[in-house]
Amino acid sequence: MKALNLYGKQDLRFEETKEPAIEKEDDVIVKVMAVGICGSDISRYSKLGPYIQGMTFGHEFSGIVSEVGSQVEHIQVGDRVAGCPTYYCGSCESCRKGELSRCEHLTVIGARHPGAYAEYVKLPLENIISLPEQVDFETAALIEPSSVVAHGFYRTTMEPGEEVAIMGCGSIGLLAIQWAKIFGAKKVYAIDIDEVKLETAQKVGADVLINSVERAAHEQINEHTKGQGVDVAIESAGSPVTSAQIFALPKKGGEVVFMGIPYADIQIERFYFERIVRNELKVLGSWNAISSPFPGKEWEASVHYMRTGEINVKPMISHKLHLHDGPETFGRIINRKEDYVKVLFEP
CATH code 3.40.50.720 region(s) in the chain: 156-285
Q: Within its chain, how far is the Cα of 240 from the centroid?
A: 19
Nearest to 141 by CA among 284, 311, 281, 324: 311
3-state secondary structure of 46: coil
Contact 99, 294 (CB under 8 A): no
Q: For residue 226, give every residue at least 6 positions away whose Cβ sits within 8 Å of its Cβ, in sequence order, or none.
A: none
pLDDT tens digits in sequence order for the chain, 347 residues long: 999 999 999 999 999 999 999 999 999 999 999 999 998 899 899 877 788 999 999 999 999 999 999 999 999 999 999 999 999 999 999 999 999 999 999 999 999 999 999 999 999 999 999 999 999 999 999 999 999 999 999 999 999 999 999 999 999 999 999 999 999 999 999 999 999 999 999 999 999 999 999 899 999 999 999 999 999 999 999 999 999 999 999 999 999 999 988 878 999 999 999 999 999 999 999 999 999 999 999 999 999 999 999 999 999 999 999 999 999 999 999 988 788 889 999 99
Fold of the domain built from segment(s) 156-285: Rossmann fold (3.40.50)
- Say if strands 282-285 and 250-258 run parallel, antiparallel, or are unpaired: parallel
Nearest to 234 by CA among 249, 217, 256: 256
CATH code 3.90.180.10 region(s) in the chain: 2-146+289-345
Which overall architecture, per CATH, does domain 2-146+289-345 show? Alpha-Beta Complex (3.90)
Cα(219)–Cα(244) distance, integer angstroms: 15
Cα end-to-end distance, the chain, whole Å: 10
- Integer-rounded Cα Rg, in Å, for the chain is 20
